[in-house]
Amino acid sequence: MAVFTPVTPDELAPWLAGFDIGRPLALKGIASGIENSNFFLTTSAGEYVLTIFEKLTALELPFYLELTAHLAQAGIPCPGPMVDRAGRNFSTLKGKPAAVVRRLPGASHMTPAAGERAQVAAMLARMHLAGARFSGFQQNPRGPHWWATTAPLVKPFMDGGGRRLLDEELAFQASHRHDALPRGPVHADLFRDNVLFEAGQLGGFIDFYFAGFDCLQFDIAVCVNDWCIEREGDAPGALVESEVREFLTAYNAVRPLLAAERAAWDVMLRAAALRFWLSRLFDFHLPRSGLMITPHDPGHFQRILQMRRTWAAPWLA
């Protein structure tokens, strides 16, 4: 994540002394993303990730940390929080909430190798099944309510065509209800940079700080819109049918999709594209100041949304 709140090993040492994870030896800011301040932390006991939360409050954080702790205990490879000697999974560092998690093995593969999509899909299905036993609750923080409140903020920066597309899609999504679809905790941001691989094997899912309760199919749609698309050529963002088939087949083998989910597939792909188009518009045009910030191009998901509005998935019928 982008570094908004710098911290040195000397500044960190007193805070870290509350944990049984050794003394800090090295601290390196992680430049990708734009939500929190994240650091690779090396201590005398091992490798960790330190997160200083820039927007989430002490009232909001327990959902995320308790969810990852629950999933990790259920065998899902994700960064469950370390607990300090006072039994806390987060506390205040430099005036903001902060947590430390054990660093998972591997690195992100921006060009997935053979079989990696299937591994992600199968683990996502396992995560959804494990999430059904989680007792916490929070609505998807970037769901329809957020879309409605964010759209007026970004419209002044858009041209007429973009505003019309946004208004039409918001109206389209508002006309569709998904009461019959299975719901539960979703990652909601499981892009390629939030999945780690080591030696061809899935190392873990990271960055759960957009998680919340939503249709499980929304999580699948977010993944497909990033993992199963053309990267270059004449139609970047277009779905690659063979890759979509691979992903859905692997997911379906663990948690079979219901008929209602298949019927809503096209609508959900559009919803996932709309969510990230809006968030990228917001981050691009209304950025926060930080030491290392790399906002994403909102045009990428505008193109994806335009494509999904005219695309159908006949093999799911």
Of the candidates 120, 180, 170, 176, the residue with the CA atom closest to the CA atom of residue 146? 170
Residues 144 and 70 in one domain: no
Beta-carbon count within 10 A of 194 CB: 20
Round to whole Å and give the CA distance between 109 and 111.
5
Pick the last residue of a domain from 102, 135, 155: 102
Q: Which domain holds residue 199?
A: 116-316
> What does each C-alpha distance from 148 to 144, 163, 189, 275 come to in angstroms?
6, 13, 19, 11
**91-93 vs 96-102, strand pairing mode:** antiparallel
Residues 126 and 52 in one domain: no
Residues 250 and 224 in one domain: yes
Judge whether 107 lies within some domain: no
CATH of the domain at 180: 3.90.1200.10
Residues 209 and 95 in one domain: no
Secondary structure (3-state) at 81: strand
Beta-sheet strands, E only, within the chain: 24-29, 37-43, 46-52, 91-93, 96-102, 183-186, 195-198, 201-205, 212-215
Number of domains making up the chain: 2
Of the candidates 96, 131, 310, 305, the residue with the CA atom closest to the CA atom of residue 221? 305
Residues 176 and 270 in one domain: yes
DSSP secondary-structure letter at 5? S
In the numeric block, the tokens 């968030």 are attached to 279
Residues 156 and 66 in one domain: no
CATH of the domain at 49: 3.30.200.20
In the numeric block, the tokens 């994540």 are attached to 1
Residues 47 and 162 in one domain: no
Round to whole Å and give the CA distance between 247 and 224.
8
Pick the last residue of a domain from 102, 127, 142: 102
Residues 153 and 267 in one domain: yes
pTM: 0.94
Round to whole Å and give the CA distance between 38 and 49.
7
Residues 284 and 306 in one domain: yes
Residues 136 and 275 in one domain: yes
Residues 203 and 129 in one domain: yes
Q: What is the pLDDT along the chain (317 residues), one digit of tens a residue?
A: 466 899 998 999 999 999 999 999 999 998 765 678 999 999 999 999 999 999 899 999 999 999 999 999 999 999 999 999 999 999 999 999 999 999 999 999 999 998 999 999 999 999 999 999 999 999 999 999 999 999 999 999 999 999 999 999 999 999 998 999 999 999 999 999 999 999 999 999 999 999 999 999 999 999 999 999 998 888 999 999 999 999 999 999 999 999 999 999 999 999 999 999 999 999 999 987 654 566 789 999 999 999 999 876 655 54
Contact 214, 178 (CB under 8 A): no
Residues 169 and 276 in one domain: yes
